[in-house]
Amino acid sequence: MTPRDSVRLILGGAVALGALILITASLYVLPEWEQAVITQFGRPLAGGAVKDPGLHFKVPFIQVVNRFDKRILNWDGYPNQIPTKDKKYILVDTTARWRIVNPLAFLQTVQTERGPIPIGRHLGRGHPRHHFKTQFGGSRSQFQHHS
């Protein structure tokens, strides 16, 4: 093997490695339980959300895939004591369940799936108690299930 052949081999290996990196950076797989919004330089693309599962293409190193779960998501707040109208304290354990229906709007308002956790905190510990009493201090009929 001559020095010229070894240079060609190294160059060929580098080109193949570069092509492999470029191809893998251009492809992304979207599972059935995920949806995505592609952003380019931090701005969502005009196409909106990608909701179909499978293999998709993007511009490598310029476009970013922001993934969001299609399934129902949970948030559990901290238990908190809240005074009732008759000055008795009750223990309230807050929880929220939601599904991301419009991932583009979700990305523009919340940024990530972890974003709702700080937003949801106002339901529990940091929420003004007078607002809670205004919402839930009325009759028991508002807690009945309506079909």
d(CA 130, CA 146) in angstroms, rounded, equals 26
Take residue 143 and report the two structure tokens written for it: 């807690």
- 123-139 as b/e: b if 16+ CB within 10 A: bbeebeeeebeeeeeee
Give the range among 36-40, 69-73, 137-141 with minimum mean pLDDT: 137-141
What's this model's pTM, rounded to 2 decimal places?
0.64
Report pLDDT digits (tens) over 10-24. 999 999 999 999 999
Residue whose structure tokens are 């807050």: 94
Report pLDDT digits (tens) over 101-134. 999 998 888 876 665 444 444 444 444 444 444 4
Q: Which residues pair with 57 in a beta bridge?
A: 27
Q: 37, 67 in Cβ contact below 8 A?
A: no
